[in-house]
A and B are shown apart, each in its own frame.
Chain A
Amino acid sequence: MATLTVPNPVTDQVITALEQALGKEKVRTDLGARIARTRVPAPFPVHRFAEHMPDVVVLPETAEEVSAILRIANQFRVPVVPRAGGTGLADGAVPLHKGILLDIKKMNKIIELDLVNRTVTVQPGLNMLKLNEYLAPYGVFYPDDPASYPVSIIGGRIGTSGWSLIGSRYGHTRDLVISLQVVLPTGEIVRLSDGGGAPKVRKASTGYNLKQLFIGTQGTLGVVTEATLELFPKPEAELAAFFGYESFEEAYRSTGALSTSGLGTLAAVILFDERKVDYLRRDDEAYIPLPDRIKAVVATALYGVEEEVRAAANRLFRIAKETGGEYLGDELSAGDWASRHDRYATPLHGRLPDGTVVPMSWHCEDAAIIYSELPAIKQKWHEITDRYIQKYGIFDNWGMFFYSNNPYKGWGDYLVEIDIGIWEQALNEETWQAWVNLKREITRATLEHQGSISACHGACREGDAEFIPVELHEGGFELMKKMKRLLDPNNILNPSKNYLHLAYVDEEVGA
């Protein structure tokens, strides 16, 4: 039996088959098209760029064309890596074995707006900002709000099971998708919803809930070609309030009180630790003037009907004051909040240990951790990061955020983020391996504290992926492998992502 873990290369025969199926204008082999789709903004081993460059880029416009691509890939046993906006921070769209890069950006049509039933059906290549511009005259809103909101794309949000900044009020991507059309790895086109097959029904108990299985797969189980999405009334009012605290411990307790306030309009609670405030005081104009006694910050935001928002603001302010918070003012609160919808606009630079500025790329760790473990994980992650900075000198600690992580409520687990700058131009194999080891130590700490490796980006990167079998050790990873083999018998769809090359290794050795 031919090995399934090493896919075949893309040959001229494959290119010809793709051109015949799609037309030459949708098949690109030029270097520019391939280079632009080799990496994502996350830190990347630039010294190994060529290992990841796809052989060919395809730009389908319909589900039928996606199906044709996957059938060709099966025929020739070549890899296919789906890619949306390429803004992900976990390498889901980075080819591990070159192959065919399936770019969905031309699938960007709005198929149907149903104002009576409050749904919109779209192709997956559409951007949320563009969708909301289209929806605005109708008074409705699609509230999926990543930090890359102006540039990220709906298909990528579904592929990664994205987290939304205002998800504690409106839900996250998985809560906002009502149904999906998916092309399976073998080319069949299927419609999946919350049980049953009715595309606009939000809650059903008919059959399996297959929709969720295809959200967050990082393109390993299928390619989404259509999605029916939830619509909300566009909020009448928003209110952002940022509070300062004289210690992290005080801010942590206040975060707990604010998160459990029961306010229905509460969309987000975000805790900034001391290192994050120090970083912002160094590089962010809103925070530079803050007095040194402010050691930690808690950001909150309310969305909804104006009367509700105004009433909730009073309760919010009272809780913050009673738990030691000092209001940081209207300008900082409103301005910083607006900027959080677009963190990708920030030019990235960091500091070497001597303070000198160099261009740095941004790594954002994104574990999901329960509230009780936040102080301990903060201490461990900083200790690990600082140790590597001291030894290698090309990383920079940008501090930590703790975001409310649950749909329709603020409490429970938190998206825990440590931001680390990496001077990519100085990377070589030794420092890249050091970086991966740093990530491994962070991941081990996450698992030791009952956390999940990723709250929103995915666990696809080296340093994360090898721990998926550890996190899912109670049978979960075994089930993942069986499903992958069942749906993708030739291992053509995003092969080796999520450590799923093990699905085929087991088969070969007869396990």
Chain B
Amino acid sequence: MKRVRKGVVLCREDLHVFEVDPSLMTRVPQDVTDPEQTRIVRNRWEYLDWMHRHFAHKTVLLSEVTDAPVHGPGHGH
């Protein structure tokens, strides 16, 4: 678990899952298992892909049609 900014930790490097610093979660403790977290993240992406298809036949990205970078600041992989 790596602290990335005040109050935020990176808990799953593979899935880019961030969480609130556990020291701030004393009133509402949270215990999500790794498989459950994986399922939530994958379902979320699946849902967002579905949403794109629901609203348009095709999603065009700015980097495909201009010289805009694929990755934004802080998001380089």
Contacts and interface: CB of A to CB of B under 8 A. Distances in A.
Contact of A282 (B8, B51, B58, B60): B8
Nearest to B61: A330
Contact of A339 (B5, B48, B68): B48
A496 B73 CA distance: 51
A239 interface: yes
Interface centre among B48, B60, B69 (most CB of A within 10 A): B60
Contacts of B17: 285
Interface residues of A, number: 52
B57 to A, nearest CB: 5
A334 B61 contact: yes
Interface in A307-356: 309-310, 313-314, 317, 326-335, 338-339, 341-342, 349, 351, 355-356
Contact of A341 (B7, B18, B28, B51): B51
Contact of A317 (B18, B25, B68, B73): B68
Interface string A265-304: 0000000000000000111010011110010000000010
Contact of B66 (A313, A357, A358): A313
Contact of B62 (A330, A356, A358): A330
A326 B73 contact: yes
B67 to A, nearest CB: 8
A237 interface: yes
Nearest to A349: B28
A120 to B, nearest CB: 17
Nearest to A236: B57
A133 B54 CA distance: 8
Nearest to A241: B62
Interface string A122-134: 0000000100110
Contacts of B24: 351, 355-357
Nearest to A339: B48
B4 A332 contact: no
A359 B5 contact: no
B59 A237 contact: yes
Contacts of A289: 4, 74-75
Interface centre among B4, B56, B75 (most CB of A within 10 A): B56
A244 interface: yes
A166 B55 CA distance: 10
B39 interface: no
Interface in A233-258: 234-239, 241-242, 244
Contacts of A314: 65-66
A478 interface: no
A326 B71 CA distance: 11
B28 A357 contact: yes
B63 interface: yes
B48 A329 contact: no
A314 to B, nearest CB: 6
A238 B66 contact: no
B48 A327 contact: no
Nearest to A234: B57
A51 interface: no
Contacts of B57: 234-237
A397 to B, nearest CB: 15
Given A327-B68, A342-B51, A356-B26, A238 B56 contact: yes
Contacts of A242: 72
Contacts of A333: 61-62, 72
Interface centre among A145, A238, A283, A358 (most CB of B within 10 A): A238
Given A310-B65, A313-B65, A358-B27, A237 B56 contact: yes
Nearest to A328: B72
A136 B53 CA distance: 10
Nearest to B15: A285
A239 B59 contact: yes
A373 interface: no
A332 B72 CA distance: 8
A507 interface: no
A288 B75 contact: no
B1 interface: no
Contacts of A358: 27-28
A376 B71 CA distance: 34
A338 B52 contact: yes
Nearest to A336: B48
Interface centre among B56, B62, B73 (most CB of A within 10 A): B62
Contacts of A326: 72-73
A327 B69 contact: yes
22 contacts: A133-B54, A145-B55, A237-B56, A237-B59, A238-B58, A238-B60, A239-B65, A244-B73, A289-B75, A306-B60, A317-B66, A326-B72, A327-B68, A328-B73, A328-B75, A329-B63, A329-B69, A330-B70, A334-B52, A334-B61, A338-B51, A355-B7
Which 8 interchain pairs have the tightest Cβ spacing?
A329-B72, A289-B74, A328-B72, A238-B56, A338-B48, A235-B56, A338-B51, A330-B61
Interface of A: 129, 132-133, 136, 145, 166, 234-239, 241-242, 244, 281-283, 285, 288-291, 294, 303, 306, 309-310, 313-314, 317, 326-335, 338-339, 341-342, 349, 351, 355-359
